[in-house]
Structure 1
Amino acid sequence: MINAILKKGKEKAVLQRHPWVFSGAIEKVKGKPANGDVVKLLNAQGIFMAYGFYNDQSRVALRLLEWNEETAIDEAWFRAKVATAVVARKHILEDGSTNTCRLIFSEADYLPGLIVDKYADHLAVQVLTSGIQNVMPVIIDELQKLLNPLSIFDKSDASSRAHEGLETVNNLLAGVHPPELVEVKENGITYGINIAEGQKSGFYCDQRDNRRIVASYAKGKKVLDCFSYTGGFTLNSFKNGASSVCSVDSSALAIETLQENIRLNNFDTGKHTSVQSDVNKQLRRFKEEGEKFDIVILDPPKYAPSRSALDRASRAYKDLNRVGMLLLNEGGLLATYSCSGAMDMETFKQVLAWAALDAGKQVQFIHQFCQPEDHPVRSSFPEGEYLKGLLCRVF
C-alpha cells in the first residue's frame, strides 16, 4: 500500500479522529496512487496513523476511514459499514407512518462521500468522492442484499464532484426506473417524490421532526411557507388544522408537485394558495400589499457554502428574516432555518437579533431546531452539523 507522510506537527486532528487531512498537511506521498485509492497515512516519524481515500485534485487530500492498522479496508469492511448504518435507522420506519429517511450520511457513517436516501421501495444515492465511486459495485450489492429495493438511482449531480475529478451523473444503477412520482409517507402524510428530476436526492427528509414541531402550533392559524419545495411544512400545517397556507417557491416543478401532494392527502385546496416566485421579491410584495400571517416559515437554500461566504450570507439571512418578521401579526411565530454548515447556532441567533432590531421588533427564541437522528453528527466531525433553526415569537 502506498504511504502518505504527514508534515511534522500535523498529527493532532488525525489523533482526534477527524476524518479530513488537507493537502497542505501532507509532506509527501511515496508512490503514485490513483485518485480514490486507499493509502496508509504515517506521521513524520514513519508511525502508522490511519487509512484513507486519497485524491490529489481535492483540497481534502485524504478522507480517513480506519485508525486500526490491523483492520483490512476490503470488501467486507465496506459491507459492514453499510449494514451498520442501515440497521441503525430501522426503528424510524417501524410504525409505518414514515417510510422515507436517510440511510447513510457520509462521514457520520464512516463512508465519506456517500449519501443514501430511502423512498418507500426505492433508493437514491449521491456519490461525492472518488474513493466511494471506486467501491460502488460493492455498496450497491450490499444495499440490494439488505433492502431488495425496486430501484437504486444515482443522483450524483452535485457540483462538488468536480473537486474530486468526477463528472455529474443522473442515472439508474439497479432495478427498474422509478416512476415519475414515488409515493412516500412521512409523519403519516403522503408525498409524491420525483427521484429522477427532483432537487438533491428527491426530498428533504432532514426536516421531518421540525415539520411536526412547527405544525403543532398551526391549528386555526394563517401560515406562510417560504421555499416550500414540495410542501413539507405546508402539508404538516394542514394536517394539524391550519386555517390557510400560502406556499412560495421559485420552482414550477416543485409547486406542481406540492399541489398534487395537497390532493393526495385530500386536504382542502380552497384553503391553499401557491405562488411561483422568487421568495425575497414575493415577501416584499406581501409587505406592500399589507398581508399578515400568524406563522411564517423560512427554509432557504444554503447561503454560506463555506466560511469565506459567511459575511455575505449573514446579510442575506438578516434581510430575509427582517421582512419575514414584518409580515407577522403581533405575537406571531417565525420558524427560520439555515442549512449552511458554516453558520453556527450562536451566529444565527445574532443574525436574528440584528434582523429584529432593523425590523423594530422584539423576539423570543422559544425552540431550537436541528437535524434528525438519521443525519447524525459524529463527535470527531462537527462539520456534519449543518441544519439549525429557531422558532421565534415576534412582538
Structure 2
Amino acid sequence: MRILVQKFGGTSLATEEMRLKAVEHVEAAIAEGYRVVVVVSAMGRRGDPYATDTLLSLVSHSDALAKRELDLLMSCGELISGVVFAGMLRKRGRETSVLTGEQAGIVTSDDFSNAQIQTIRTARILQEMEKGRIVVVTGFQGATADGETTTLGRGGSDTTATALGVALDAEYVDIFTDVEGIMTADPRIVDEARQLKRVTYTEICNLAYLGAKVIHPRAVEIAMQKNIPIRVRSTASQDAGTLVTSATDVMEGSRLTDRVLTGVTQTANVTQIRISRTPDSPFDLPLRVFDAMANNEISVDFINVTPNEILYTVTDMEAEKAIRLLKQSDIAAEIRPGCAKIAAVGAGIHGVPGVLAKIVEALTEQEIEILQTADSHTTIWCLVRGEDMVAAVRALHQKFALHK
C-alpha cells in the first residue's frame, strides 16, 4: 500500500476557495495511486472564528483555568476543521473517516499543552484505508494512555503529520502552506530570494529554529528518524515545492550539490548579556548565571564562556527579568537590547575553509559591526544590531550568490 500523508495548515483551510484547492491536492494524490491520510489544523488564524488563538481568547480573562481544560478547548478547532473538510470530500463522492488524535491512535505524555508523542497505534487508520476511505486526522492533539486529551504545543500539526508518516511508513509527508516551498531567504527582505528544490533535514531544522517558520523543526527531526521524505508545498499551486531528505539524497540531476550555503535567515528582538570575569570572580560564576536563568525558565542562546567573560542572549521580552535575577545574585552585567541573530546555513560549510572570512567580508563591506559569532557543522551565526539586520541578510545572500 502506497501511503501519502498530507497536512494542511490554518491558512490552507481558512476559506472555501483554499479548502477546495486542498481537496484537489488530495484527489491528485489518489489519482497517482496513493492511499491518503489528511492531517488538518484549525481553520484560519487569530481573529478567524475557529482558529486556536480565537478559541483561547474566549478564556483570556481566566488565569485559573488548568492546562487540562485548555487542551480540551484547543482541540476543538481541529475537530471542526476535520469535519468540514471531510464534508467537502464527501460532496465530491469520496468516502472519508474523521478521526481525533485519540481515535487515530496517537498516545502522548501527560504534559498538557506541550505533550510528546510516545507511540502511535495505527490499526484504526489502516482499517479505514482498507475500506477505501480517506482518513482525516485532527492535528495538534492526542491522548494519554488513560484517555486524557492533550495538545502537542507549537508546530503540533506538523508533528502529527510526520509522526503518522513514520508510523505508517509513508512514501512522503506533504506539508501544505501559503508559500511555494523553502526559500534561500525571507522574500520580504531579499527580492532575489529563490525557492530551494532540495534541502537536508539538518539544514531545514537549522533554518526553522533560526527564523524560517514554514515547518516546525520537531516535525523534521521525527521524519529524519526513519528517513521519510517531506515535501513543503503551496496549497495554491501544483508545484512540487521543496523536498526535504537526507544528505545523500539531496541531488541535483545526477550529482550531489556542491553549494556551500543553502540559505540565510534571521531572528530579531534579541538582547545580548555580557558579564565580565576577573581573577577575583567566583570560580562557579557561570554556574550561578545559568542556574538563575534555568530555574526561572529563561531560554538562553548564543552562549560563549571564556576566562574573561560570559556572553549569551535572551529575547528582548525576557531581558528585564534576566537582568533582575542577575542583580539579585549580585552579578553585574552589560546589556545590549534590540539585536538580531543572522544565520548562514548550509550542509556544505563543514570542512570548507574561508566561509567565515567571506561572511565577515560581506558584513564589513556594508559597515556592519559583528557583535558575536558562533558556528556548527552546518551553521555560522552572527549577532548584529537590530537596525543592521536587513542589510546583513541581503549582504550574505548576495555574497554567496544564493539568487543563482
Q: Same fold (TM over 0.5)?
A: no
Q: Which has the higher contact order (CA 8 A, sep 6+)?
A: 2
Structure 2 length-normalised TM: 0.30
Structure 1 length-normalised TM: 0.30
